[in-house]
Amino acid sequence: MASQGLSYDGCNFFRQRLVLATLSGKRVKIKGVRSREDNPGLRDFEASFIRLLDKVTNGSRIEINQTGTVLFYQPGLLYGGSVEHDCNPQRSIGYYLEALLMLAPFMKTSLKATLRGVTNDPTDPTVDLLKSAAIPLMKQFGIDGEGFDIKVVKRGMAPGGGGEVVFKCPVRRSIKPVQLTEPGKIKRIRGVAYSVRVSPQMANRIVDSARSVLNQFLPDIYIYTDHMKGANSGKSPGFGLTLVAETLNGCFLSAEMSSTPQGQGDPVLPEDLGRNCAKLLLEEVHRGGCVDSSNQSLALLLMTLGQQDVSKVLLGPLSPYTIEFLRHIRDFFQIMFKIEVQKPLEDERKGGDKVLMTCLGVGYSNINKSIK
């Protein structure tokens, strides 16, 4: 069979490539992974990611050369089921969970993944953010069912980790097309201020400062404080804030910020963190759209994998990650998006330029789900 594969250079956008390869069934070869660096080859977190991919699939073939600079991946079928994985603490669980969110609806059996590692760190989208923004987004695409949830069992901050997250997702045969062109007005802001292995007062201080910024716009703000103790508090101290703005049309915009990991960089005052996080949310609102910036690629993927109907989503400015994702989607699924910029009107006070993404789904059906 003349099944063709794709070849890429460098380990950038590593997850995108593997995830799309798995979904499209195309082989992928990634060459020159940090080949010029002193420490060549795949990092531990990437290896951990590959291992996770191996756990949720059946029959996939992964070949890595001795130095780890060349990776060949032949995807198998997504199996799902109960999966436990110890994520490498170099990256937070969000790194792994983002990929799982993309794969989970297309498994053979519904996925129940228990991921252990760092739940919150400053680089990746945290588990709380994905829980509050990605899950409602996926529900818009018809992925819903009992137990569709991300649950933070234990919280583990950056360097040490020790957190635990349970992600459950039902499977779908096909994805609904969506028309998310009107984000609507923001009606409420919710959030979680978490703190582990520090004074519980920290969370309250964060809440106060964040509210001080956001109260200029909206009275309906509620920020939960989440202080985990004992065994549930992981191995490192830290605190942070996740804010989510919900609009009238059920769109979620989110922002987050966590304290710098212990022993890396200057410590942050909780007040500053709260204020800055609130400003990040305002920035996110300024960007606007129906999907927040870190979930753009998830929305675009689900649009691509929809039935052969037109889907539309209004986004804020495309992030570099999303742009690369669009290119990858074209490589793997031969789908191009129609990209239209919507400039704000003269007297409108709704933030910056928006981008209307339109595409025709590929008519993807979950070939893993069995019929009995």
Among 82, 84, 265, 338, binds another protein (CB under 8 A): 338
Give, in order, the Cα–Cα distances in Å from 143 to each of 101, 104, 162, 168, 183.
11, 10, 30, 12, 20
User: Environment class of residue 37 by beta-carbon count within 10 Å: exposed (0-12), middle (13-18) or buried (19+)?
Assistant: exposed
Residues 209-228 that bind another protein (CB under 8 A): 213, 216-219
351 binds another protein (CB under 8 A): yes
Judged by beta carbon, residue 132 or residue 225, the one nearer another protein is 132
285 binds another protein (CB under 8 A): yes
Judged by beta carbon, residue 25 or residue 267, the one nearer another protein is 25
Residues 20-39 that bind another protein (CB under 8 A): 23-27, 29, 32-34, 36-37
Judged by beta carbon, residue 86 or residue 324, the one nearer another protein is 324
313 in helix, strand or coil? strand
Judged by beta carbon, residue 260 or residue 365, the one nearer another protein is 365
Judged by beta carbon, residue 266 or residue 371, the one nearer another protein is 371
CB 13 within 8 A of CB 328: yes
58 binds another protein (CB under 8 A): yes
Kindly state the tokens that stand for 349: 């006070």
Taking CB under 8 A as the binding criterion, the range among 149-157, 197-205, 236-244, 302-310 that sits at the site for another protein is: 302-310
State how far the Cα of 218 lies from the Cα of 224, in Å rounded to an integer.
17
Give, in order, the Cα–Cα distances in Å from 128 to each of 37, 94, 137, 342.
34, 9, 14, 31
The whole-angstrom distance between residue 259's C-alpha and the CA centroid of its chain comes to: 20
Judged by beta carbon, residue 170 or residue 200, the one nearer another protein is 170
Among 123, 232, 249, 260, binds another protein (CB under 8 A): 123
Pairing between β-strand 310-315 and β-strand 354-360 as defined by DSSP bridges: antiparallel
Among 154, 225, 337, 354, binds another protein (CB under 8 A): 337
Which run of H or of E encompasses 139?
helix 135-140
Pairing between β-strand 354-360 and β-strand 338-342 as defined by DSSP bridges: antiparallel
330 binds another protein (CB under 8 A): yes
Residues 130-169 that bind another protein (CB under 8 A): none
239 binds another protein (CB under 8 A): no
